[in-house]
Amino acid sequence: MFGKILIANRGEIACRVIATARRLGIATVAVYSEADAGARHTRLADEAWPIGPAPARQSYLSIEAILDVARRAGAEAIHPGYGFLSENAEFAEACARAGIVFIGPPAAAIRAMGSKAAAKALMERAGVPLVPGYHGEAQDLATLAAAAARIGYPVLIKASAGGGGKGMRVVERAADLAEALAGAQREAASSFGDDRVLIEKYLARPRHIEIQVFADTRGNIVSLFERDCSIQRRHQKIVEEAPAPGMDPARRQAMGEAAVAAARAVGYVGAGTVEFIAEGDAFYFMEMNTRLQVEHPVTEMVTGLDLVEWQIRVAAGEPLPLPPERLALRGHAIEARVYAEDPARDFLPSTGRLVHLRQPREVPGRVRVDTGVREGDAITPHYDPMIAKLIVWGEDRPAALRRLVAALGEYEVVGVRTNLGLLRAIAAHPAFAAGELDTGFIARHAAALLPAAEPAAVPAAVWAAAALAALRDQRAAITAAARSSGDPFSPWAETDAWRLNGDGYQDLHLRHGGGATLVLRSHPLPDGSVRLDLPDGPPVRAALEEDAEGGLRLVLDGVARRLSVARQGVEFTLFLAGHGEHTVRLEDPLAPPRAETAGSERVTAPIPGRVTRVLVRPGERVERNAPLVVIEAMKMELTLRAPVAGVIAAVSYGVDEMVEEGAELVTFAAPPSGPG
């Protein structure tokens, strides 16, 4: 067994590996970029070493920098996590040359499965069923267009050298192929350093099912059963579960045997995942991920195994800890990935500081949270925007689903947009409960899963909670000022809204989201509660109380609900039991009106990122929806298009320049004014 290992990664997977290493008595070395100085994984490890600037190309993807730290720190082995260098054959070979054990498969296996095209050719020779497609070496447009026509539209373009939805495009018709191909190749080159692609038939309602395999250096290979990863957005998984709903023993055995055969064909060692796409009674090989998967915790929950421990033991030369006959499934597990992204803006990543973060209470063997962040940390444009993975277990799928719904209800995040609303909607959807899963689930149920940003009616309890939170903060500020003034008993320090002639009251101007401003009149009552006059309903009596755990409860006309409040300036984010999450802004009626933003004659960066292509020049006339600029952020490529037809007046940034969110990238010339 190793005495010290280095984790060549960051975030939640680095923290995950550190936890197992600590349990095994293995010292850990973390590495970090300038953007990750002080990150959670650096605080958990026994040692933390800097490796370069924020861009991954200069830090987490720098083989030289990581090996230099490993040598200087005395690490005997390197765990690559997933992403970054985890499937890089050159890195595995460099570790071997340096006399450091790579906790992963042999470089030859990585190479064999690293090219999707080569892997499919290998599987074809091994008799594993494949989706109809083109996996050849020729990459010119004519060859690929002919292949797409032969396969039949719609087709799926995929990066040959990688996964995670990078370099992937669905093409519905021949006229769209050239642009989709160019975008996929750029994204593939940026993410994997290889712009080669393959083309496959796009299946209408497929399920994405993968098999976890494990192999040791002695020729033993086992299947650790399947995971269903069909719930996806942007071709990336967000909900995974094990076992797959509706999976019968015969198919489980057939898919497991195919996965083991695939691993054996490349001389595999360590943890790997063989991914299949299934439709009807058929299943087809897609690819093999030669690393630990993001969703590995669901397999751990239903098998009772620690897959990171298995990786470390196999890399140290030990045999697989258990033979096939001792492997069994127990209960059901579901994982939900919590991302900093905005589902209302086509899942664009969201950056910012986590000013408030409350995660579900962990229950060993029942509720687990794998995360790499803490309250106060920043989600930056440099890396994947995952906040955490929530994993739950139940005796059966309905029990696991109930636990998932409850745990998602405990999540509170303020400071960035998140997909928590989407995850809650998925977990509560009848089709999900019925196990009606396929990769088009979110698109098909979009109306129910992605509701309008502004609700038709804001519940009275939300207005009351916002008003009481504002009054509480106001009272605390006035009391603190009075105590420090030297005259704590001044009548100006009173907060009872007393008036000489008439009832005491205070008006609060509140706005929910992008809705209209509402005026609530609050009347303090002798017992510390308030009477609130609502414009669209009868008055209510409201108060804030402490609950048994030191939190807050809103008591509205005698009905109590758990409440949590996070404040950013004049904005209150409310987490109210039974009513979900709401953001309410306290308006100043005497403040000057906010300036209106510019119209559609400009294009701004929706998120911070790097400009990778500029497709227009000043003076050029473009049609509406024409591509203008391509930016890359958080492992994703975004093409910004013309909001109107017109003439380009200016292009403000060039290729490789970094832009902040809201930066003006392209402006249009003002149209000529008409006569008169």
Q: What is the CATH number of the domain that holds 537?
A: 3.30.700
- Rounded to the nearest angstrom, the gap between the alpha carbon of residue 658 and the centroid of all alpha carbons in its chain is 22
Query: 580 with 661, same domain?
Result: no
Query: 74 with 148, same domain?
Result: no
| Residue whose C-alpha is closest to residue 360's, from 442, 424, 302, 422 | 424
For 358, how many CA atoms within 13 A lie in the half-sphere containing its CB? 15
Judge whether 516 and 526 are in contact, CB under 8 Å: no
Query: 22 with 98, same domain?
Result: yes
Domain with residue 53: its CATH number is 3.40.50.20
Query: 519 with 618, same domain?
Result: no
Per residue in 574-585, pLDDT tens?
A: 999 989 899 999
Task: Count other C-beta atoms under 10 Å from residue 529's C-beta.
Answer: 17
pLDDT at 180 over 90: yes
Give 443's pLDDT tier (boundaries 50, 70, 90).
Answer: very high
The reply to whether 536 falls in a domain is yes
Does 368 participate in catalysis according to the annotation? no
Dist. CA 21–CA 299, nearest whole Å: 19
The dihedrals phi and psi of 496, each to the nearest 5 degrees, come to: -100, 10
pLDDT at 517 over 50: yes
Dist. CA 590–CA 262, nearest whole Å: 70
Query: 579 with 482, same domain?
Result: yes
Query: 651 with 563, same domain?
Result: no
Dist. CA 367–CA 182, nearest whole Å: 43
Query: 26 with 145, same domain?
Result: no
Q: How far is CA 111 from CA 115, 116, 162, 356, 569, in A?
A: 7, 10, 11, 43, 52
For residue 9, the cross-strand partners are none
The reply to whether 16 falls in a domain is yes
Lowest-confidence segment of 229-233, 250-254, 454-458 by average pLDDT? 454-458
Query: 650 with 545, same domain?
Result: no
Domain count, the chain: 4
Token pair listed for 422: 């989407």
Q: Which domain holds residue 563?
A: 460-587
| Residue whose C-alpha is closest to residue 288's, from 138, 439, 167, 121 | 121
Per residue in 95-144, pLDDT tens?
A: 999 999 999 999 999 998 887 778 888 888 877 888 888 888 899 999 99
pLDDT at 219: 94
Lowest-confidence segment of 300-304, 309-313, 665-669 by average pLDDT? 665-669
Domain with residue 168: its CATH number is 3.30.1490.20
Give 595's pLDDT tier (boundaries 50, 70, 90).
Answer: very low
Dist. CA 333–CA 297, nearest whole Å: 9
The reply to whether 572 falls in a domain is yes
Judge whether 384 and 330 are in contact, CB under 8 Å: no
* Average pLDDT score over the chain: 90
Of the three residues 521, 554, 587, the one that is the final residue of a domain is 587
- Rounded (10°) CA dihedral 451, 456, 462, 468: 130
Helix (H, G, I), strand (E, B) or coil at 569: coil
Token pair listed for 271: 């943890």
The dihedrals phi and psi of 570, each to the nearest 5 degrees, come to: -100, 10
* Catalytic residue from among 16, 227, 291, 585: 291
Give 481's pLDDT tier (boundaries 50, 70, 90).
Answer: confident
Query: 576 with 613, same domain?
Result: no
Give 501's pLDDT tier (boundaries 50, 70, 90).
Answer: low
Buried-state track 375-414, b at ≥16 Cβ within 10 A, e below 16: bebebbbbbbbbbbbbbbbbeebeebbebbeebbbebbbb
